[in-house]
């Protein structure tokens, strides 16, 4: 038998169960917080036992780190990075990316920018290991945003005097912040207001027409 297939077979069920646990885990961790969610909560939801959990994962922390690597980081990439990079006008793609991300937030679906924001504040100063992984995702987002903005400079969509690092910081800030505000009252109205001002800000990044 093909050794690769053998490995696949061996790991197939394992992978499936682990994936179920991770998906359910992320949902509950997002809804109730990491510390407020017990391993039993997750297991009850899946009708699994403690034995199954600790057969697959070393600890609750190890479990969460794997969730970050397998689910969160990929989702952040596909929701916040991919939709922005590779288009000619970064100002446009940033605008529609934020628009779309906030729209899922209005419908109370899981918005992975919000997930990242929540976990960043929950683990800060409490768990260095997990913070390291979260900061890594944050850093990837930041680097991509900066390089996309710089590419926009090169393509003439962004004024050459713009400080791209600063713009990236400001964009990330406003995005994280609006997620905090939106989960409260009137998310739809707040989204609309936010987007209108975001457009104003993005306009300041456009090339100034030089009076020749």
Partner DNA sequence: ACATAAACCGACCAAGTGGTCGGTTTTCAT
Partner DNA sequence: ATGAAAACCGACCACTTGGTCGGTTTATGT
Q: Which residue has the tokens 């916040």?
A: 80
CB atoms < 10 A from the CB of 180, how many? 12
Return the one option of a copy of itself, DNA, none that residue 50 interacts with (CB less than 5 to 8 A, by type). Answer: DNA
- Contact residues for 130 (Cβ-Cβ < 8 A; gap 6+): 61, 64, 65, 68, 119, 123
Q: How far, in Å, are 80, 93, 94 from residue 87 at the CA level?
A: 13, 7, 10
Nearer to a copy of itself, 18 or 134 (CB): 134
Among positions 10-29, residues that touch DNA (CB under 7 A) are 10-14, 17
Q: Per-residue x/- marks for DNA, 35-64, CB under 7 A?
A: --xxxxx-----xxxxxx-xxx--xxx---
The nearest distance, CB 35 to DNA, in angstroms, is: 7
- d(Cα 157, Cα 22) in Å, to the nearest integer? 41
Question: Which residues of this protein are in contact with a copy of itself, per CB under 8 A?
Answer: 31-33, 35-36, 117-118, 120-122, 124-126, 131, 135, 138-139, 163, 165-167, 169-170, 172-178, 180-181, 183-185, 190, 192-194, 196-198, 200-201, 203-204
The one of DNA, a copy of itself, none whose footprint includes residue 204, by CB under 5 to 8 A per kind, is a copy of itself
Closer residue to DNA (CB): 69 or 144 = 69
User: 100, 95, 83: which is closest to 202 by C-alpha?
Assistant: 95
Residue 2 falls in which region: left (phi positive, over 0), alpha (psi -120 to 50) or beta:
beta
Contact residues for DNA (CB under 7 A)?
1, 6, 9-14, 17, 37-41, 47-52, 54-56, 59-61
């Amino acid at each position: 038998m093909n050794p690769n297939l053998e490995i696949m077979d061996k790991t197939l069920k394992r992978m499936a169960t682990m994936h179920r646990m991770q998906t359910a885990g992320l949902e509950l961790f997002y809804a109730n917080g990491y510390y407020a969610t017990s391993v039993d909560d997750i297991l009850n939801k899946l009708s699994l036992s403690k034995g199954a959990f600790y057969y697959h994962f070393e600890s609750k922390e190890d479990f969460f780190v794997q969730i970050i690597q397998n689910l969160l980081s990929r989702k952040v990439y596909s929701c916040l990075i991919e939709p922005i990079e590779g288009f000619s006008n970064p100002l446009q793609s940033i605008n529609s990316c934020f628009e779309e991300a906030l729209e899922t937030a209005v419908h109370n679906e899981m918005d992975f920018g919000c997930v990242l924001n929540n976990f960043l504040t929950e683990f800060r100063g409490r768990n260095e290991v997990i913070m390291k992984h979260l900061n890594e995702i944050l850093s990837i987002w930041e680097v991509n945003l900066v390089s996309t903005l710089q590419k926009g400079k090169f393509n003439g969509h962004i004024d050459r005097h713009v400080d791209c690092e600063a713009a990236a910081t400001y964009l990330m800030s406003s995005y994280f912040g609006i997620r905090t505000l939106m989960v409260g009252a009137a998310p739809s109205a707040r989204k609309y207001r936010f987007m209108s001002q975001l457009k104003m800000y993005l306009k300041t990044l456009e090339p100034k027409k030089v009076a020749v």
